[in-house]
Amino acid sequence: MMPQIRIGTRASPLAVWQAEHVRDALQQAQPGIQVDIIRMTTSGDVLQDAPLHTLGGKGLFVKEIEAALLAQEVDIAVHSMKDVPALQPEGLEIAAIMAREDVRDAFVSNHFSHPEDLPVGARVGSSSLRRRAQLLRHYPQLRVEDLRGNVATRLRKMDEGQYDAIILAAAGLKRLGLQERIAYAIPVTLSLPAVGQGAIGIEIRSDDKETRRLIMPLADRLTQQCVLAERSMNRVLGGDCRLPVAALAEWQGTQMLLRGLVASPDGGRLLTAVAQGDEPLALGEAVAEQLLAQGAAHIIEELLP
């Protein structure tokens, strides 16, 4: 019998693109495999009327898919790694992370080519406290307002004039063929990305050895180690993707450089730390400890319900 894999994914166009990307890679790596995509609705998709950071709980975009994985209704779950909490439910693990796309945030506007071109009081849409904090740190004259919905919904709201600009992940726009909407790819020195941004992760049941074998050719070792370092930092800080926490690990020869950030949502306090090494877990812990020594825990505690 040909092997069969059922992929669990969110139903948004970007999430489905990611699932199809995994399907295509699986079919190339394992000729003859049958792959079905199961679309699901998550809490994060349903709860659209409030800012993400006010909704409470972790894994708003993954927990229903993880429940289906544990119930053996699907064989793998495909996630944007920036949506995945630092710790998985017992019995699950991220077994493979694919090669990373562009990690940068994208400034999207129909009338302005750069954030510095925006007039005082211009409305910028973003659902991310991380993006809000860093944008206000550099451009305090702006009004950063909450913006929810999938990529198409956010673009439509801007096109209707509800916002002068919006901030999205460059990777998502590129994957959807919308790279022409990027007015300015924001350097990581101005907007450090979310933990795992631009990376697609594949989650499995820890005891499913056959599925692990099938998906292993999809893993990109260098990306996997970078995301592991970022998630190690996030785990020590609290492991919640809703918080204004940012990290980026990059290989520089045989050494990995990890930059971390924790900020207050208004950008008034912005803590940064950097470390270099070749052991991802230890590197993440070292950067987290630097941030905690600067007072990161106080910022995080103020935001948790």
pLDDT digits (tens, 9 = 90+) for 4-42: 999 999 899 999 999 999 999 999 999 999 999 999 876
Annotation says 83 is catalytic: yes
How far apart (Å, rounded) are the C-alpha atoms in residues 41 and 299?
Answer: 31
How far apart (Å, rounded) are the C-alpha atoms in residues 229 and 275?
Answer: 11
Residue 47 has a pLDDT of 47
Tokens of 239: 């492991």
Across all residues in the chain, what is the average pLDDT?
92
Q: Which fold has domain 105-186?
A: D-Maltodextrin-Binding Protein; domain 2 (3.40.190)
Given a cut of 70, is residue 54 above it in pLDDT?
Answer: no
Phi and psi (nearest 5°) for 186? -75, 125
23: amino acid identity, one letter: R
Tokens of 93: 């693990």
Point out the catalytic residue in the list 45, 75, 83, 102: 83
Higher pLDDT, 96 or 2: 96
Determine which helix (DSSP H) or strand (DSSP E) holds 210, and give its type and residue range: helix 209-215
Report, as an integer, the average pLDDT of 199-225: 97
Matching fold, domains 1-98+198-219 and 105-186: yes
Report, as an integer, the average pLDDT of 187-201: 97
CB 270, CB 133: distance < 8 Å: yes
Given a cut of 80, is residue 304 above it in pLDDT?
Answer: no
Residue 61 has a pLDDT of 65
Enumerate long-range contacts of 146-149, CB under 8 Å, 24 or more apart.
146/51, 148/48, 148/49, 148/51, 148/52, 149/48
**What's the CATH code, domain 221-305?**
3.30.160.40
How far apart (Å, rounded) are the C-alpha atoms in residues 182 and 240?
Answer: 28
Residue 187 CB: number of other CB atoms within 10 A? 10
Given a cut of 70, is residue 293 above it in pLDDT?
Answer: yes
The CATH superfamily holding the domain 1-98+198-219 is Periplasmic binding protein-like II (3.40.190.10)
Report, as an integer, the average pLDDT of 123-134: 94
Residues 62-106: pLDDT tens digits? 888 999 999 999 999 999 999 898 888 999 999 999 999 999 999
CB 152, CB 85: distance < 8 Å: no
Given a cut of 60, is residue 279 above it in pLDDT?
Answer: yes
**What residue spans define the domains of the chain?**
1-98+198-219, 105-186, 221-305
Report, as an integer, the average pLDDT of 191-216: 97
